Amino acid sequence: MDVRADAEDAVQEACGRAWLGLDELRDAGKVRAWLYRILRSVLSETEERSARRRQLVSITRLEEGHDELVASDGDMVFEEVAARLTGEEVRAALQQLPDDFAIVVELHDIDGFKYHEIAEIVGVPIGTVMSRISRGRRLLAGAVLATRSAAARESSGQRRSPRWGGSGSTGGGIR
Read off the pLDDT of residues 51-69 as tens digits, 9 standing for 90 and up: 777 776 677 777 776 666 6
Q: Is the pLDDT of residue 26 over 70?
A: yes
**Residue 167, pLDDT score:** 42
d(CA 39, CA 49): 15
**Residue 143, pLDDT score:** 86
Read off the pLDDT of residues 111-152 as tens digits, 9 standing for 90 and up: 888 998 899 899 999 999 999 998 998 888 888 888 777 777
Tell me the C-alpha to C-alpha distance, in Å, between residue 144 and each of 37, 53, 67: 43, 22, 13
* Chain mean position to CA 29: 44
Cβ–Cβ < 8 Å for 147, 158: no
Read off the pLDDT of residues 30-54 as tens digits, 9 standing for 90 and up: 888 788 888 888 988 888 888 777 7
DSSP 21: T
HSE value, Cβ hemisphere, 13 Å, CA-based, for 174: 4
pTM confidence score: 0.45
